[in-house]
Amino acid sequence: MAVVTLHSASYPAVPAAVSDARHAVERAAAAAGVAADVVSRVAIAVSEAATNAVVHAYADRPPGTLSVAAVLDGQLIVTVADDGPGVRPRADSPGIGLGLALIGRLSDGLSIDDRPTGGALVTMRFQV
């Protein structure tokens, strides 16, 4: 099976972009024939990952970029990346710490890595 790119875009890492990214991936997955229950899980997971980037990656700096991609490669693989300092705990976190756990429950596979160029990369996998 060939890899099919469903969505690939960069957004400013601001709160309004979370909705834009979510809806773009949601529409692309639905148009590709991904089952509605999977599309719903993907949409929530993308919102959580994008929100984490907006809230945490640029907490002490001006907002940067939020990159979101979705590909079909035997499964739906969605990535959310930022240009922040990478995956680091924050004592002053405004969240309650459930976002990544929720993504883990919604997806069929989750990895969170520091990008070689800086920032974090969240990769979520969904069976289709």
| pLDDT tens profile 21-54 | 999 999 999 999 999 999 999 999 999 999 989 8
Tokens of 49: 């990952």
Lowest mean pLDDT of 7-11, 22-26, 91-95, 101-105, name the range: 91-95
Residue 93: predicted pLDDT: 57
Beta-carbon contacts of residue 93 (< 8 Å; ≥ 6 apart): 56
- Note if the pTM is more than 0.95: no
Beta-carbon contacts of residue 37 (< 8 Å; ≥ 6 apart): none
Query: What number is the average pLDDT over the span 104-128?
Result: 94
23, 93 contact by CB (below 8 A): no
CATH class assigned to 4-126: alpha beta
| pLDDT tens profile 54-94 | 888 877 788 899 999 999 999 999 999 999 888 766 566 55
